[in-house]
């Protein structure tokens, strides 16, 4: 009897733990989930009248949670945004449109739409280390032709780029022949791992793929075939320094979210701190290693300015805390 009771208890405990694990680790965390969102802190009156989310590819789409919680007045706070299924919350909550600036159309909120002149003063964005961002982009583009096109790659470039990104998976006796047949880097490439690294390095120099953040600040598509100039870079730096309402840093996610609310008010919810990554760390690490010496001059310069603006925002908020006595950190 005791043994039966023990087995039943153990089984119930396993089911309970499994349910908790699935609930907390479900990568979708859909609106049907029982995972409850919590209002962590109220930062007071919202002071940003309009907000334009400038989404650079692979810098953190989950910052949309912060923007939508901020813009919308009647969202269901007990449920997270199902960002992976691109829920258009403004269709149910009309109050969202009072603050949201929708570049590219009403359903383009989650897409990489370049900056517009009329967005000046209302733009918020996350910036990411160029190598990290490009590695994530290349990994994600490997099997998604449609995804490549949305970033501005021209029709004539899609197939060659996809061919460059594809990696021979065959092993065994045929592997050597396959490597030789698809090897763009010379006879020194002898293994499948070398071939992967070679192809990602070559793809990173493909027309249009460099300078993504710089181009989008200038109103161009991320992967548009456009040859950036030093004058373009200076203009992009000027816009970033003077016309952005908020600059966050992907590598400093939690601090960026708190900084946004400290600057502009509103309640901060637990789902804003959940930076969801679709890429497996190992997959991205393979690309990152391949690109470690692949320097993106324009975006590296822009990223340095983003870090500069980010630190300036922190100092301004710290001054506000010291002069008003209100702790916004």
Q: List the domain boundaries for the chain.
A: 35-324
Give the relative orientation of helices 130-141 and 192-204 as an angle to the nearest 10 degrees.
110
Task: Indicate the pTM of the whole model.
Answer: 0.83
For the chain, how long is the longest CA-to-CA vector? 82
Strand ranges inside the chain, DSSP E: 39-42, 52-53, 123-127, 244-249, 267-269
Name the DSSP class of 130. Answer: H
Cα distance between residue 81 and residue 71, in whole Å: 13
Between strands 39-42 and 52-53, the pairing is unpaired
Q: What is the CA radius of gyration of the chain?
A: 23
Domain 35-324 has CATH 3.30.43: no
- SS percent in the chain: helix, strand, coil, step 5: 55, 5, 40
Name the DSSP class of 114. Answer: P
Supply the pLDDT for residue 171: 58
pLDDT digits (tens, 9 = 90+) for 106-154: 788 888 999 999 999 999 999 999 999 999 888 888 767 666 777 788 8
Name the residue among 146, 257, 142 with its Cα closest to residue 206: 142
Supply the pLDDT for residue 155: 82
Supply the pLDDT for residue 160: 84
Q: Tens-of-pLDDT digits for all 329 residues of the chain?
A: 444 444 444 343 333 333 332 233 334 334 444 556 788 899 999 999 999 999 999 998 889 889 999 999 987 766 666 655 556 888 888 899 999 999 888 788 888 999 999 999 999 999 999 999 999 888 888 767 666 777 788 888 888 888 788 766 655 555 565 666 666 676 667 777 788 888 888 889 988 999 999 999 999 999 999 999 999 999 999 999 999 999 999 999 999 999 999 999 999 988 888 765 555 567 778 888 889 888 899 999 999 999 999 999 999 999 988 888 877 66
Cα distance between residue 220 and residue 96, in whole Å: 27
Supply the pLDDT for residue 299: 98
Supply the pLDDT for residue 8: 40
Which tokens hold the place of 236?
């992009």
Partners of 100 in the β-ladder? 51
Supply the pLDDT for residue 169: 60
Supply the pLDDT for residue 165: 82
Supply the pLDDT for residue 30: 42
């Amino acid at each position: 009897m005791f043994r039966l009771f023990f087995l039943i208890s153990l089984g119930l405990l396993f089911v309970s733990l499994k349910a908790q694990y699935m609930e907390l680790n479900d990568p979708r965390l859909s609106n049907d989930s029982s995972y409850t969102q919590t209002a962590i802190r109220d930062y007071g009156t919202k002071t940003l009248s309009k907000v334009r989310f400038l989404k650079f590819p692979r810098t953190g789409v989950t910052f949309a949670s912060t923007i939508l919680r901020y813009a919308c007045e009647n969202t269901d706070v007990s449920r997270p945004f199902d960002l992976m299924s691109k829920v258009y919350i403004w269709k149910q909550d009309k109050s969202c449109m009072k603050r949201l600036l929708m570049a590219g159309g009403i359903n383009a909120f989650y897409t990489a739409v370049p900056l517009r002149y009329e967005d000046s003063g209302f733009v918020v964005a996350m910036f990411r280390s160029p190598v990290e961002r490009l590695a994530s982009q290349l990994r994600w583009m490997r099997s998604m032709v449609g995804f490549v096109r949305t970033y501005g790659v021209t029709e004539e470039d899609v197939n060659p780029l996809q061919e460059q990104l594809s990696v021979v998976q065959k092993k065994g006796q045929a592997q050597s022949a396959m490597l030789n047949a698809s090897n763009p880097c010379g006879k020194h490439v002898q293994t499948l791992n070398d071939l992967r690294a070679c192809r990602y390095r070559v793809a990173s120099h493909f027309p249009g793929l460099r300078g993504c953040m710089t181009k989008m600040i200038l109103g161009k598509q991320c992967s548009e075939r456009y040859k950036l100039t030093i004058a373009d870079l200076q203009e992009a730096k000027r816009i970033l320094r003077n016309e952005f309402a908020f600059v966050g840093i992907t590598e400093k996610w939690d601090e960026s979210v708190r900084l946004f609310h400290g600057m502009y008010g509103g309640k901060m919810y637990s789902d804003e701190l959940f930076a969801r990554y679709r890429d497996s760390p190992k997959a991205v690490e393979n690309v990152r290693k391949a690109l470690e010496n692949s320097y993106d001059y324009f975006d590296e310069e822009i990223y340095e300015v983003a870090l500069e603006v980010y630190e300036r925002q922190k100092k301004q908020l710290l001054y506000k805390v010291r002069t008003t006595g209100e702790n916004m950190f």
